[in-house]
Amino acid sequence: MSFTVSRNTKINALLLLVVAALAVLPLALGLGDHKEEPFTGADAEAETAITELQPDYEPWFSPLYEPPSGEIESALFALQAALGAGVLAYYFGVRRGRRQGEARALANASETAVAAETAAGSGSAAVGDKDA
């Protein structure tokens, strides 16, 4: 039994490997060991940098909603990311479905045209035989 792997399967496997490496390598290499909270978000990093550079800086505005804990903030961020991924997946799914539908419609149209030509060709030959 021979098992062949398509080009798309190879690309998907490579992309999955790259994503896994991006998730595991920072932890394995200890890239955040020198920090108290090694993998905080960009907002926290920016706030720390601004406070160091300009201690008397005051923000222009405050957030509309301040979650009561970091866990709730993380959950809301995960929910936002999941909704965004869902919207993107829906868009790409609809796009692919339309493309497949168009391909099927073209294939059916060409099959219908070939069948019509074949029927017309055999019908005229039959008529021609009667005249002969």
What pLDDT, on a 0 to 100 scale, did the predictor assign at position 122? 67
Residue 132 has pLDDT above 50, yes or no: no
Residue 128 has pLDDT above 60, yes or no: no
For residue 84, what is the DSSP state? H
What's the whole-model pTM score? Answer: 0.50
pLDDT tens, residue by residue, 90-114 = 999 999 999 999 999 998 888 888 8
CA angle 48, 50, 55 (to 5 degrees): 100
Phi, psi of 56, rounded to the nearest 5 degrees:
-95, 15
Residue 35 has pLDDT above 50, yes or no: yes
CA angle 12, 17, 22 (to 5 degrees): 125
What pLDDT, on a 0 to 100 scale, did the predictor assign at position 1? 62
